[in-house]
Amino acid sequence: MTVKPLLTLLLAGLAAMPAPAVAQVPARDDYAWHFPVEVTQAGEYQVVDIPLAVYRSAHDASLRDLGIYNGVGQAVPRIIERPGDDAEVLESLTPLGVIPLYGEVAESQRRLNVLMQLDEPGTTLQFRSVVPEPTEPGQQLQALIVDLREHEERISGLAFTWSGAADGFIGTVIVEQGDDLADWRPLARGTLAELAFEEARIEENRVGVDGPIGDYLRVTWRDMPAGWRPATITAIRHDRGPAAERDWLELEPREAGEDGREFTFDAGGYLPVDRLELVLPGGNGVVRAAVYAREGSEGPWRHVHEGVFYRVNTSGTVLQSGAGAIVPSRADHWRVRVLSGQVNGAPVLRLGWRPERLLFLAQGDGPFTLATGRARDQGEQFPQQRLLGDNALFSMLGQAGEPSLAVLGARQAGAGEIALAAEPDWSWKTVLVWIGLFAAVGIVGYLVLSLLRESDATKVSDT
């Protein structure tokens, strides 16, 4: 018998066993919040994505106070599966040949069409990687034709270089595609920009492309300054795995500093954030800001990111800084400190994270319940994690196949807020332990004294 059938039999056997009655594991109703688990597919090995509501319900930052209970209230084995690293993105750049269209675009294209008809077998179109200067004085560059006939690999974007914009600019590029030089279809539209602000420099030189592409591209532009002209166009190709999906949360400041340059945000839960974006209010603005995070309302602030954030609106074209990667930070409180630049109002902080997954063994009958939110789990060394979080077990079960998908329902009240209160230092459990220790010491002392008295009495009688 091969390994996989053996693992399958083991999995079925484990699921058929009753859940262990571990006295150290708290009861389901000891936790503040409950989430019903809907098993949508038959299977003893289940998985559920952890939503924002669970992060906001757990008391422990690492979700170690999270358990799964079956229909009779017995806790079952479960683990938290952290997402792996993002797939490595390999980027390649290939210069593209172009033909400039000067003067009237229609007339220039008519001449190109004539050349294309003569291209078989004798005439060859001269596509160049650098846009040449006009052959006649006063000619205005109106468009570029890009040749993609020898580029069979799919491209994901175009990168531009330019000249003639010493004072900075922001404008729009329109990209069309076609299989000949007569009929054009819309393909993409993007913003090119080059701006300077104090010590910050903003440059946007890429336009994303999606979907199949024809043999030729036609590139035009608008809202560019006088003298601006493209110099080169480069194809961008990405060799990567599937894009990682992220959940996003938008937060408005909970409080602002007196100087209007510091803002504090409350996420309401310990989110494993690895992306963030600062959305500036109003029309135009460029700031350099530092971002800090911490766990709880009294922990130390940790510096997690510093960068330039901007929002520029020119003639209806908006250029805005996007989401940036940060050191993964599991925190519920966030602070933004503006180091330079001016913020005209309260910014919005967007947090992004890859959801973790909960895997559990469906021992016993349903319905199953996810329970979380208990402060005393920490003092008890997190029994859910310590007694039921066997990673080796789930690693072995993973070799038997993929788990079945389960879905969480809406949050319901369990023990409520009382479960989130930390156990006081003078709890009855602690008092009873100390009483027992003192009683034991007293009994031992009494026995020792009794033995000493008996020994003295024996010595006296012997004399």
Instruction: Report how far Cα 108 is from the mean position of its chain's Cα atoms.
Output: 48
Q: Could you identify the residue written with the tokens 């009240």? A: 413
Torsion of CA 358, 359, 365, 367, to 10 degrees: 20
Class of domain 247-353: mainly beta
Q: What topology is assigned to 90-239 in CATH?
A: Jelly Rolls (2.60.120)
The answer to whether the beta carbons of residues 12 and 44 sit under 8 Å apart is yes
Summarised one tens digit per residue, pLDDT across range 99-146 is: 888 865 545 555 555 444 444 444 445 555 555 555 555 567 888 999
- Domain boundaries in the chain? 3-82+356-420, 90-239, 247-353, 426-463
Q: Could you identify the residue written with the tokens 């038997």? A: 400
pTM for the structure as a whole: 0.73
Interatomic CA distance for residues 229 and 246, integer angstroms:
38
Summarised one tens digit per residue, pLDDT across range 403-430 is: 889 999 999 999 988 998 875 544 555 5
Tokens of 289: 């800001």
Asked whether the domain spanning 247-353 has the same topology as the one spanning 90-239, the reply is yes
Per-residue confidence (pLDDT) for residue 21, from 0 to 100: 43
Per-residue confidence (pLDDT) for residue 424, from 0 to 100: 53
